[in-house]
């Protein structure tokens, strides 16, 4: 091992010298790698945004245990179960409160353009705040008024004017299910792939909007445990106590359930996975082109080194050295550019896209593997560097 380090210390950094001497070739290689990295970062970024945005509402729930229908698939598609199960859950020791939570997607008229679009609407008892959002909880008095809702400022669509009006304190009205509703306040949660926006109102208003929904059919049950009680234990006890027509999950399990739906049930994870793989392949091809051109250009020199007594493994190392140098240098622009593109995408789509350390490490490892594969393919050309045939 020490011998190897000594060997490396006395070695001429041939790969690096070859690359740095050919500036234009180096630039082509680096932009190719940066391009592949940017593509990978975007694909992975959108994929992460998908999972993050769809669990934002689930994560914001202020609850310890969630009851839901076994038919529920995601927050936009919750199905219903009987409110009786909530009252039954109150029998369990350690349960402090059990409140119903209503959710539905609905077509509403955009208050600004008057065009119909789909939005998610949730309802809960304003006396028991269901969300861990201080901005919402300060405005709960407003939604006690009939047909009054709070509007998500992060909704996707043309709402800038309506939001500005609400911020000035004006009341904006629009139409949902043939009822006129008033937007009387704003909060920030952000759009998701499942819903373009979110309205919050009281359980009473919610039931007025959907006359065919019974108060007894709830979407979720939000259970708070008594101080000092373990939610996992209490959830197990509730599960044992209640019949099978309702699922009992802790809050963490519910977020995981939501994530799992988007990972396995939607094609979106697959699509972004394909996108990342394609970027990876494009990167391999680009780097291979550059490396094989470089090997070809130096074939005669390599043959000379072989004639001097250098082994084939030495030349392999030179090509790999080039590959690794390219991976490191190409990653720098490939890492910086996406930070700005994420910013643009976040503004344009209202999705929570941003650079994360774990994704940067992941893409960096992919970049090194990418360059190593290209290097491996490029070394096949070294076979033709035979001094006996060349001189």
Q: For other proteins, what does the binding mask look like between residues 305 and 344, x meaning CB under 8 A?
A: xxxxxxx---------------------------------
**Could you say which of 73, 84, 300, 380 contacts other proteins (CB under 8 A)?**
300
User: Measured from the CB of residue 319, what is the shortest distance to other proteins in angstroms?
Assistant: 14
Tokens 């994929």 map to which residue? 47
| Residue 299 is a binding residue for other proteins (CB under 8 A) | no
Go through 120-151 and write b for each residue having 16 or more CB atoms within 10 A of its CB, e for each that does not: bbbbbbbebbbbebeebeebbebbeeebbbbb
Report the residue from 269, 333, 354, 387 that binds other proteins according to the rule CB under 8 A. Answer: 387
304 near other proteins, judged by CB under 8 A = yes
Tokens found for residue 159? 């709402």
Count CB atoms within 10 A of the CB of residue 366. 21
Helix (H, G, I), strand (E, B) or coil at 147: coil
Give the residue among 45, 5, 6, 25 at the shortest CA–CA distance from 325: 25
Helix/strand/coil for 34: helix
Is the CB of 266 or the CB of 304 nearer to other proteins? 304
Closest approach of other proteins to the CB of residue 334, in Å? 25
Q: Which stretch binds other proteins (CB under 8 A): 5-13, 30-38, 62-70, 332-340?
A: 5-13
What Rg value do the Cα atoms of the chain yield, rounded? Answer: 30
Strand blocks (E) in the chain: 65-68, 81-82, 95-109, 116-124, 148-152, 172-176, 179-187, 198-202, 217-218, 220-225, 247-250
The answer to whether 171 contacts other proteins (rule: CB under 8 A) is no
Is position 298 an interface residue for other proteins (rule: CB under 8 A)? yes
Site string for other proteins, 7-46 (x = CB under 8 A): x-xxxx-x--xx-xxx------------------------
Q: How far is the CB of 337 from other proteins (least distance, A)?
A: 29
**Terminal-to-terminal C-alpha distance of the chain:** 37
Of 3 and 228, the one with the shorter C-beta distance to other proteins is 3
The answer to the question of residue 114 lying near other proteins (CB under 8 A) is no
Residues lying near other proteins in the complex (CB under 8 A): 7, 9-12, 14, 17-18, 20-22, 298, 300-301, 303-311, 387-388, 391
């Amino acid at each position: 091992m020490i011998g190897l380090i000594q060997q490396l210390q006395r070695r001429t950094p041939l790969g690096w010298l070859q690359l740095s001497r050919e500036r234009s070739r180096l630039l082509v290689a680096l932009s190719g790698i940066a391009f592949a990295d940017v593509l990978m970062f975007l694909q992975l970024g959108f994929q992460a945004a998908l999972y993050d945005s769809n669990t934002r509402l689930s994560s914001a729930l202020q609850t310890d245990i969630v009851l839901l229908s076994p038919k529920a698939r995601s927050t936009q598609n919750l199905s219903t179960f009987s409110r009786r199960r909530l009252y039954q859950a109150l029998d369990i020791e350690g349960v402090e409160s059990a409140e119903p939570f209503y959710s539905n997607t609905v077509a509403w008229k955009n208050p600004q353009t008057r065009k119909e679009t789909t939005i998610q609407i949730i309802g809960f008892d304003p006396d028991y705040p269901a969300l861990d959002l201080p901005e919402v909880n300060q405005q709960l008095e407003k939604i006690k008024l009939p047909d009054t809702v709070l509007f998500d400022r992060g909704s996707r669509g043309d709402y800038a004017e309506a939001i500005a009006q609400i911020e000035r304190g004006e009341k904006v009205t629009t139409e949902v299910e043939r009822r006129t509703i008033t937007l009387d306040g704003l909060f920030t949660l952000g759009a998701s792939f499942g819903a373009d926006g979110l309205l919050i109102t009281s359980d009473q208003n919610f039931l007025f909007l959907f006359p065919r929904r019974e108060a007894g059919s709830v979407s979720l049950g939000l259970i708070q445990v008594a101080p000092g009680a373990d939610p996992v234990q209490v959830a197990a006890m509730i599960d044992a106590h209640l019949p099978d027509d309702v699922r009992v999950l802790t809050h963490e399990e519910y977020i995981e359930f939501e994530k799992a739906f988007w990972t396995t049930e939607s094609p979106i994870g697959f699509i972004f996975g394909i996108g990342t793989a394609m970027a990876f392949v494009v990167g391999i091809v680009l780097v291979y082109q550059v490396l094989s051109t470089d090997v070809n250009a130096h074939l005669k020199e390599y043959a000379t080194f072989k004639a001097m007594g250098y082994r084939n493994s030495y030349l392999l190392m030179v090509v790999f050295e080039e590959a690794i140098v390219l991976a490191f240098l190409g990653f720098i622009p490939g890492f910086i550019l996406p930070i700005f593109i994420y910013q643009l995408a976040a503004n344009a789509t209202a999705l929570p896209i941003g650079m994360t350390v774990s994704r940067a490490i992941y893409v960096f490892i992919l970049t090194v593997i990418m360059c190593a594969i290209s290097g491996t393919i490029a070394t096949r050309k070294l076979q033709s560097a035979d001094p006996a045939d060349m001189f």
